[in-house]
Structure 1
Amino acid sequence: MSTAPEAPPGPAGVDLSAPGQKFMSCWSCRLTSGGGLVLSGAYVFNAARRVMRQGGTTSIGTVAQITFAVGLAAWGLVLITNPVGKAQRKT
């Protein structure tokens, strides 16, 4: 019986057999996805601010929108910086 061939090791000897590993090693993929999330957060934040700028009352929905926008932007920054991949370097 034959077995499936192993995936070649990626840069710096990192095994790229898992799909998540391949995504995290691609700088342009992380930058595109993270940038999209940051811009989405900016769009949602701007929509909430527009209501407040026009003199609307600040409701719980507006607060939820701003909180969601900050969460989207933070998720995008984490995706771009990839702190988990930096912590798993071999010594």
Structure 2
Amino acid sequence: MSTAPEAPTGGADAPVSKASQLFKGCWSCRVISGGGLVLSAAYVYLAARRVMRLGGPTSMGTVAQITFAACLAAWGVVIIADPVGKAQRKT
């Protein structure tokens, strides 16, 4: 005989944790973190452009920096837009 409580099954009606609800509903948290990612993307992009503007060769490292900057910017926009939190499943 076990007296331990049963683990939640994770069904559709399972409760969501408070921390998850707080982050999804906190507009200022999303703007600050997403804006920080977009600003860091701008910094990385401008650092790569500075090398190219000074006449340096376009190397694979510079291309990787620009690609990384694009990924950071996209990540920031996704955090600000929160597309997962707005999606509702229709039954």
Q: TM-score range by the shorter chain?
A: 0.7 to 0.9
- Larger-Rg structure: 2
Render the CA deviation track for 1:24-66: whole Å, top value 9, x for unaligned.
1100000000000000000000000000000000000000000
Q: Give the TM-score of the pair, scaled to structure 1.
A: 0.77
Amino acid at match of 1:55: G
Aligned residue in 2 for 1:55: 55
Q: Give the TM-score of the pair, scaled to structure 2.
A: 0.77
Superposition deviation, residue 23 in structure 1 = 0.8
Change (3 A) 1:34 1:18: same
User: Is 1:43 aligned to 2:52, yes or no?
Assistant: no
CA distance in 2, matches of 1:82, 1:20: 13
Change (3 A) 1:34 1:89: farther
Structure 1 runs (4+) greater than 6 angstroms displaced: none
Aligned residue in 1 for 2:26: 26
Superposition deviation, residue 90 in structure 1 = 7.2
Superposition deviation, residue 17 in structure 1 = 2.2
CA distance in 1, matches of 2:27, 2:89: 17
Amino acid at match of 1:25: G
Is residue 33–residue 79 contact of structure 1 (8 Å, CA) maintained in 2? yes
What is the count of residue pairs matched by the alignment?
A: 78
CA distance in 1, matches of 2:70, 2:83: 19
Give the CA RMSD over aligned residues. Answer: 2.0
Aligned residue in 2 for 1:69: 69
CA distance in 2, matches of 1:35, 1:48: 20
Q: State the percentage of identical aligned residues.
A: 71
Is residue 16–residue 22 contact of structure 1 (8 Å, CA) maintained in 2? no
